[in-house]
Structure 1
Amino acid sequence: MELRKLTIDSPDIQVLEEINEEAIPECERNSLRDLMNTGATVLGIYNDGPVGFLVLREYKAILYLAYLAVNRTLRSKGIGGNALKELVTNNAGHMIVVEYEAPDPSSPENGMNIRRKDFYKRNGFCETGYFTFYDDTEFEIGCAGLEFDVDLFGEFTEHLSTVISDHIPKPYMKT
């Protein structure tokens, strides 16, 4: 398994766009080209060809994992976990941050939310105790690498709002 930085002109972009279409819900999806045009880095996940991707945004010591997707026929085979482990290993000087839907017993998607959280925890991400809320959904913040810095994350989200005007989550702790 290998991670490769892609460009808008990379020959495998179309294959990865098809994975994007299948894996990311329409309400959350952006084309990989549009993401790159707004400064995001797209890393292709390769295992005898392109099998998935990571979308990252870097700000100071933060490496924000916006998306992780693997071809549906190859899920649950360790590819996503191996990609995360390589990402963390190759970026030791960063606070790698991810947001995943917070478990909620009243949600019909709670089983999937718990599985996603457990996936990130198994692959080196720790609970931070912080949450965000946007698009009518509560997200829990996980972190790997450097210790989570809520002030820096808040600064990052302010910066991100200059790139993506409708994305201004504010981190909070539950009381």
Structure 2
Amino acid sequence: MRTRYIFLTTILGAITLAQGCAPIIIAGGATAAAVATDRRTVGALVDDNAIELKARKALNSDPEIGDDVHVNITSMNGIVLLTGETTTGELRDRALALIRDIPGIRSINNNVVIAEPTAFANRTHDSWITSMVKARLIGTENIRSNHIKVVTESSVVYLMGLVKQKEGEMAATATQQVAGVTKIVKLFEYLD
């Protein structure tokens, strides 16, 4: 009887702990699933996240970079995409200089324009376009949507990832069908 009591107490304790940790377990499972299906190595995934974090920290830490700068940083296999706006060419150059020497960056595609930072409504519209493109990619046969990173800035869609040329062409064709897209920029690394 005592053994049964200890067993039940252990089970109830484990369930209680697991309930509190459910978000952690689920997030860990989702991360493991993403890693398992991504064409990048685990090291490349970690490096890309580190690049994005270090770049954001570099911009946020610089006293000259303020509200006149809206720069998004996306890294895919060491290829960095910069999008957004700065009010002057000097601020754009400064942002690029702060990011350029971060370890692990293989190349930078600087698409930051000189303009007033976009309004929240524009960014919301860009998020909507990104969601629609991702949905279109999910619904496209012979494309693994998790192989393609989609970034939208001012209705311009940037497609990144490690893909075969045919997959890249199919992704661009699917993206063209989304309302509101004004331009598509393919920044793929081709596997074939």
* TM score, norm. by length of structure 2: 0.27
Structure of higher RCO (CA pairs closer than 8 Å, 6+ residues apart) = 1
Instruction: Kindly indicate which of the two structures has a greater share of residues assigned to helix.
Output: 2
Q: TM-score, normalised by structure 1?
A: 0.29
**Larger strand percent:** 1
